[in-house]
Structures are given as structure tokens and as C-alpha cells.
Chains A and B, each alone.
Chain A
Amino acid sequence: MKKVLIIGSGISGLSCAIKCAENGVYALLISPFPSERSQSVMAAGGINAVLSDCDNGDSVECHIEDTLKGGSYLGGKKSVSGLCSRGEEIIKYLERIGTVFSTDSSGRPIRRAFGGQSHKRTCFCGSSTGKQIVSALIMEARRYEAKGLIKRRLWSDFHSALIHDGRCFGALLFGEGTGRLEAVYADAVVIAAGGQNSVFGKTTGSTQCDGYVSGKLFMQGVELKNLEFIQYHPTTIETPQKKMLISEAVRGEGGRLFYNENGRRVYFLEDKYGSRGNLMTRDVLSREIAAAKKEVFLDISFLEKKEIDRRLPEVRDICKKYRGIDISAEAIPVSPSVHFFMGGIAVHMNHETNIKNLFAVGECASMYHGANRLGGNSLLAAIYSGWVAAEDIAGKESSGKAENFTETEEKENAALKSRMTTKSNFPVMYIRDMLAGTMCSKLGIVRDEATLGEGLADIDYYLSVAEKINYDASVLPYFNYSLTGILTLSKAIITCAVNRKESRGAHFRSDHPESRDELCYSSIISYNNGSFSFRLDKEHEYES
């Protein structure tokens, strides 16, 4: 039986594992913690799909056009068409496996309006859509686990891919229990490791999503794409712990953004963009809020309390618990924060990377969202991409070719051991904190060459010391061995931002404020022995 190794057990990893199992392919699902801890559970607002009982005038073509336009036409038309055309199938599937959608009296999923969309097409489960989907997928995966077609391995961390001659044969995994690296072989490896949130410190996402897997694979020859496009979510609330997401669902339910001036509320977005001003795309809103240079609030208090309780209970709870704010009586102070990464591992339409038998799905892959993602499209893409990769793997003949990586395994184990026998307690987290400071201050909503250059210089310094410091032997070895990969990925992100000398979607350059037609291509970055090479994908080589 064919075997697939899946790194990450959030929605895209689970979807891929289940689809593999449905097709008789054995899936080994790797993660440090169970799926309940994945970042997917934090996705709030909803999942887009044009259903047969859609809004008057809506169609799959409209969804495709909205997605392409929202992404400033960097998302490939063929791939986006594939994504949108399976929307209804995905919703039906989620219903079939028991997802608890918010439904009308006839049991049909209710749809809400979301930013940048011409019609109401966002299906949702209260304001915890991601969690509800994860719960349903966990149950479905369990069905196949009981049959022996899916196996979970917890307390395991990715170390590196086993690559030879442009082909992937498995991965080296670190066992937190054994303290050793182990080579695990498979017919295909699927990376479902999420975005790179924590290179920016504590963002709206999970602390577990640190970008290491993408960074390490980049160093092993995997190409990355569109890294400069980072979505700042316009509405997050500051708490002592982190910035927490205030779901787009609040604006979907009619929430209005304003600031105070001379004792009156100024609904600055409605003034500028008309009645749908609060539902402009996230990149536009984040820039407008930053440009207002005033404390901005989001008001939903005009909605009846029972409607807030019914449709936005999680938003109500976050505001009450962490800030003591009653959203049915007062407005929520909001500001933009790093939220989603449109860029990531470059993949072809079957979600295979430039390395054979190595796939990437979910947020760590870059495919559909172009320069800016529409709310409700990430959950759709997470499931769709997991399916596409699984279907491709299931349909391929196994090469049957085997390679032995015992020597690599021994060499890497020896390197890890020598690093961990240090008596030092210099925590790698100090450098991670400095990196987060650099990334937040040098790669903000508005960028320019000089500031980005300062960021590059900072990261070059961190990289110059990363291999020389003695690490803290009292923390998980993962934190120590992952540092160089994370720093390398961060450098690649800034390099892409320096090289895109225009403004497009979420990438805004104050020194190049216009979009340039001749640059309307995805960016690709590759690594060779310490040097980075940047190019535009003018031949659309990944749209194939």
C-alpha cells in the first residue's frame, strides 16, 4: 500500500489524510500536538462557496472573479477556477461528515457577507467555523484511524526532508520522547504546517506556526513564492497576552468602523467608499486604519443583544474576558495585525513543489490568494488543497525507487547531540524575540527600501551568530535546531519585499506607490548555498 507522510494535522493535513484514506493510501499524520491545538481552530468567520440556492446573480464565475480581483490578479486563473468550482462539493462534504453549520429553518447553511465579495456566499458556524470543521474532520479521521488507514504520531517535529536528485523520499523527524532524529520513508510527503505567524511574535495566530518547515525546505532547494504578501487583518484587539482577532463576521453582520473627532463619530470608510466601506478588502482597510492615525473603533452595539449572542458569541466572549468590553453596549477598539500569509511554498496545480513527491497544502502553500486573500477563502483552500494533493498522490504510480538515508540520519543525530550537550542556557527565544521586533518594525503595512534594508541587515546579523551560539539544553531541541531555518525564511520574506518595486494588494511601498502592469506576476525566490535568487514567474511555470 502506498504511504504518505503528512506534516501538520490542522484542517489541510486532516483533509489530505482523509482523502488519502478514502483512496486506499495509508497516511501517517505528524504533529507535536493533537489537531485540537492547531491554528485551524482559531479561524472564525466562515467558508466561501456558491451553492445551488445562492444569491440572485451569484455564480462560480463571480466567486472566481472576486478571488482574482481581491488578490490583485496574482492568483492563477486556472487554479482559482478549480478552487471555486468545488466550493459546493466541499460544503456538502462538510455537512455529510456532521459539521454543525449555522442553518435556517429548513436546515440550509445561512450565508453572510464578507469583505471584497460581490454576493453573500460565506457559510459559517457561529463565529467558530474553523473549530467546528476541525471537530468534524477529527471524527472522520478517527473512522479511518480505527481501520488502520490513518495513523497519528504525536510529540514529533519535522527536522528536514529526505531529498536526493530532485526527489523526496521521506523526512527526518525529531521524537520529543526519544530525543532522537528518525528517518521516516514514504511515497510522498505533504507539508501542511501552516503560516509563519510567529516570525512576527505573538500575532492573531498560533505560537506553533513558526515557518520553520518552509525555511528548512527553502534551504534544501524548495522554491518559495509571493512571500512579500502578508495580510494584516484590519480588526484585532490588543490584550496583555497577544493581539486577538475580531472576526470579519462583525462587519459582515453590519459592524461599522469609526474614529472620534471633535466629539462626534467619523465613519471614515463609509465617507470614502460608500455604504460598503466597512466591507472593503482587508488590505485596503488596514491601510486606511493605519493612515487615520487615530484610535479606531468597531461598533456592533446597535445589533440586538440576542442576535449578538446567537451570531457572534466568541467575539462577545473575547472582548469581555480580555478587555472587559460589553460589545452589545460599547464599541471595540481595533487595530491591524499580521494575520495570514498569501505567500509560501511554491506549488504546481497538483500542489507538488519543484521537488518530486514533495507537496504543500493549506496556508504554508502559495496558490490561490495572490496579493491579498478574501475572508472565507482560506478554509476553502485548506480543504481543497488537501484533496488535490491526495487525489494526485493516489492516482500516481508508485516509483518503487528507494534510497537509504541512514548516513544522513546518523550525521544529523551527531550534530544535534553535540549542540544539546552544551552547558550554556542562552535561549534561542531571545533571538526569536529580536527577529519579531525586526519583522514588525521593518515590514509593516507601509514599506520602503531603506527600512527594508535595515531589516535585512538585522537578520544578517542574527544569522551570523545563529550557528555560533551555545543553545539552551533545557528547552526542546526543536527550538534550537529550528532557528536558522526561521531566520533564513525571514530573510527571504524581506528580500522579496525589497525586490517588488511596486504596490499591489497587501504589499504597499511608499517609495513605489503605484501598481505596474509589467510586474503583475508572482515572485519566486530560491536558495543556493547561502545566496538568494529572486525572479518573477513570467512564464506561469507554477500554473501548470
Chain B
Amino acid sequence: MVAWAGVECTVDTLRATLAHYATTSDGPPQGAGPHVISFENVSKRFANGTIAVHDLDLEVPKGEVTVLVGPSGCGKTTTLRMINRMIEATSGRIVVDGQDVRQVDPPQLRRRIGYVIQQVGLFPHRTVGENIATVPELVGWDKQRIRARIGELLDLVGLPAEVVDRYPHQLSGGQRQRVGVARALAVDPPIMLMDEPFGAVDPIVRGRLQDEFLRLQQEVQKTIVFVTHDIDEAIKMGDRIAILRQGGFLEQYAPPEELLAEPADDFVADFLGAERGLKRLALIPVSAVKAEPGPVVAPDDDGHRAPQAAEAFGSDWVVVVDADRRLLGWADAAEAAEKPKVGDAEVRPFRLQVDADDSLRAALNAMVQSHTGVAVRVSHGDRYEGLVTLELLSKEIS
């Protein structure tokens, strides 16, 4: 498994590419207003009478990941495919880039919208390079430009250059997925549609692909519509989440924190699952709560200072911090009281520490794994910032 590495060093290539598009006229359409997709009263009724999408109004903001999530039969894939006219809406209007999609010839429309599907759908009779070259060839790039672009994209998605002449069946699932992403990004479309893109790989690879994709997205800032049935993936990937119910009803459309904090109804609450509180904690950074100062003593303090500090805080242990506010560990208050100095008692390290960027879920994990029942917040590795307690957590999420 090749790591999806080298993202940082390829950002420059990508910027160069974007700059190149800005200065040449044959690049993909750019700057034609905000790249938003809007659904206006869109419905889809199939020939057999099934209503897949029911009077949908939805605005997809530029440069964000919008996730469509819901149980099977909720119309999420239908909604996605109506954007590039793989499925035609029965009524209503879909506007992409300020243009009603019905006014654009479908092949033309699709060439400016990247598309990644679950089974990747790589062409088995074409090499990796030829697969990536698909849309550039359709829009008529010259060979040299295509070849240069293939190199850039392989680099961008973290695949070694030598895979260019391999056939898809010679790659691992994760590698195929990356080629699928590279192919969708080939002409640098401002909009990407992704239908369960990580559904076909094992959970470990999926987690890594999700992380790398999020990092990639921070750089490329595409407008992405992402379909999944997995609420955890939705929460992880989405800037905004649209929860759909069977029959194509939009139940709630909100950023993940808001969704978890205030589910619109029982359906949404059920769909979010019993561990809604925990999922929310995963989205909130430690920096969002004000840490308690805690029962802090210095190693040079008299031993009897320890029980005083502990009692004031309501614990039977103290946090030992030196003059530079470096965290040394914790000590048993009763044991320290019998020593001349706090530092003479056994000072045990906190096994888990959190910093400002960690999630409250990580803080909770630190709490339940520690003797002290609190999470220690540090900065710069060992600078003591305070304690995160269970009370602070429940105050934050209730």
C-alpha cells in the first residue's frame, strides 16, 4: 500500500496548474460566478411511479463538501445524478454555475464536473495514464499537455509515476480509488460529484483515504457533493450535511455540529444514532472549553501544600508543574503530605494528554483511561494549560 504522501510538495504544482489555467483560454471554465449548485423545487418520479426526490430545495455552497446522507431509497444518488443529468429531473430547476443544466448538452456539462463512484469504474482496457487522460482527450488537449498533467495528478494523489502504464486490475483497491480521484480531477473541474467513493475499500484504507482526501480538499477547495449511507463518514467529510428520508424528503440540512446539537426531528435523531453526544464531542476542539486551573503544586512546595490544593479542587491527587509551567505529572496528595517537598513523592506521568486542536472526544478518552478522571491539556508538548473535566464536557454538549 503506497501512502498518500507528498501532498505538501505537490501543492506547488497544483498552484502552478491553476495559475496556468488563469492565463490560458483553453482551460476549463473558471471564474464564471460562484460555483454553486442549487436545487429549486426539484422532484424526480421514475417511470414506475416511485418518487425518488420530493420537491427538493438545496443550495450547495462554493468550495465546501456537502454530504447527502440517508438510508437506501432516500434519493441521495438520484439527487447527485440529476446534477450532471445522468438522471433528468421530472420538475423543478437545477442551476450549476448560474446556468440551468437543461440548457447544457449533457456531455459538455459532464466534462466540467468531476465524478467518482464507489466501484471507481476505471476502464479495464486502459492503462492508469490512459484512464486519467479520458476527459482531457474528450475536450481535446494536446498530447504533451496531457502527459504533463498525468504526472502532476499521480503526484497529487500520492501514486508513484511507474503505475502510469499498469492496467487497473494490477492495482490495489486503494490505488484504484486514487486513480479514480485523479481521473475526476484531470481537467481541474470546479465541481466534483462523489458517490460513496470510499465504499469499496477496507475500513483501514478507507480511513486513510478520507483523511488524505480532506487534506487534498483543503488545497483544491472544490465544490463537492458527496453521497454516503454512513453517517459517521458524513460527519467526518461534510462541511454541511443533508439528511434525506425514504421518498426523497429533505429532513435537515445543516453543518454537522448543528445537526448533532439540534436534530430537527426523531428521524434525524435516530439516524444520527445513540452516540450522538460522542459524535458531537468528536467535532468540538478542546480549545472550545475553558480549562480548569486544577490542583497545581510545584516540586519545591512543602509537602503539606499538596492535600490543601487537592482538597480545594476536590481530589486526592495534585498536578505537579515546575516554574516554567512544564508538566511533570501527578502525585498522591496523602503521600506528598508526608514528604518535606512535593517533589520527594512519586510523581507519575499522565499517560494521555490533549492539546487545543484535539477533539473533546479525545479528552473524554483521556479521562476514562486515567486514574485521575480528568484530561490534562498541554501546549507545545509539555506546557501545562489546565484540566478538562467531565463537568466541562457535559456543560458544553447539553
Q: Tell whether A and B belong to one assembly.
A: no
